[in-house]
Amino acid sequence: MTASQREYTAEELKEFAERAGRELEDAPALEILRWAAGTFGSRFCVTSSMEDAVVAHLASRAMPGVDVVFLDTGYHFEETIGTRDAVDAVMDVNVITLTPRQTVAEQDAEYGPKLHDRDPDLCCRLRKVLPLEQGLKAYQAWATGLRREESPTRAHTPVAGWDEKRQKVKISPIARWTQDDVDAYVAEHGVLTNPLLTDGYASVGCAPCTRRVLEGEDARAGRWAGRSKTECGLHG
Ligand code: SF4
């Protein structure tokens, strides 16, 4: 077992997270990911909603073959599944697809149809939060594509922080990036993006809970539109 595969204690992980959050605040995204890869090795993964493959691409440069975890809720647009398949086919990453305990049909039978309209928090818990909790058990650190400018709820996202709920280091290497930074990286490296991003969607989630954004709205305004809900619970 190499040092990078060591099982750290929660106290050690918390200290890593807090120190990295301070020391890497101004570091380039690739440097943050190289730190994560060097520290956690195969116990580090990237999660991706397949809105784009920017963080997966950055992580593959830091650690070729890195695990990229995708949550297949059963409610995705076909473009999202296509993006997942394309990432798996062309990038030097290991795509891992997590699925909920129940299919949509099984959930409909137990809770009634369209749970997303009646109780989206429960639907997100069953189809996103619980499967991710299960899937992340193999890792000590995980990376997300959260960016501070996406919404007020994400404005204080640290580049590295302590995920108290899951007892893991949570890394957001592009937290400081603007949409222009994302667009420039995509253009420079030819990174795969979800085709819906050029069809009026600024943020892509499950089909029943995502609409196109209007002029002047923030990027996540099309998610659970008309409801007070703004996050699925993965980042709370
Ligand atoms: S985003 Fe909507 S459909 Fe997807 S898990 Fe949450 S409530 Fe269910």
Domain of 117, CATH number, reads 3.40.50.620
- 34 lies in a domain? yes
Q: Would you call 128 exposed, middle or buried from its count of C-beta atoms within 10 A (0-12, 13-18, 19+)?
A: buried
- 156 lies in a domain? yes
DSSP result, 183-223:
HHHHHHHT--B-GGGGTT-SS--BGGGB-PPPTT--TTTTB
- 174 lies in a domain? yes
Q: Which domain range does residue 20 map to?
A: 10-194
How many other CB atoms are found less than 10 A from the CB of residue 31?
14
Mutate-to-test residue for ligand 1 from 50, 203, 209, highest number of ligand atoms within 8 A of CB: 209
Provide the phi-psi class of 216: left if phi over 0, else alpha when psi is between -120 and 50, else beta.
left
Whether 45 is a known active-site residue: answer: no
Helix (H, G, I), strand (E, B) or coil at 134: helix
Index of the ligand 1 atom closest to the CA of residue 223:
1
Q: CA 75 to CA 181: how far, in whole Å? A: 29
- 72 lies in a domain? yes
- 106 lies in a domain? yes
- Number of domains into which the chain is organized: 1
Q: How far is the CA of 116 from the centre of ligand 1 (A)?
A: 5
Amino acid residing at 47:
T
Strand order in the sheet with 168-171: 93-98, 66-71, 44-47, 141-143, 168-171, 160-163
- 62 lies in a domain? yes
- 201 lies in a domain? no
Digit-coded pLDDT (tens) for 155-212: 999 999 999 999 999 999 999 999 999 999 999 999 999 999 999 998 899 999 998 9
124 is in an annotated binding site: yes
Percent of all residues in the chain with a pLDDT value above 90, rounded to a whole number? 83
209 is in an annotated binding site: yes
Return the closest-CA partner of residue 175 out of 200, 145, 203.
145
- 233 lies in a domain? no
Index of the ligand 1 atom closest to the CA of residue 121:
7
Digit-coded pLDDT (tens) for 65-121: 999 999 999 999 999 999 999 999 999 999 999 999 999 999 999 999 999 999 999
Which residues are CB-contacts of 169 (< 8 A; sequence separation ≥ 6)?
A: 13, 16, 17, 20, 36, 40, 140, 141, 142, 160, 161, 162, 163
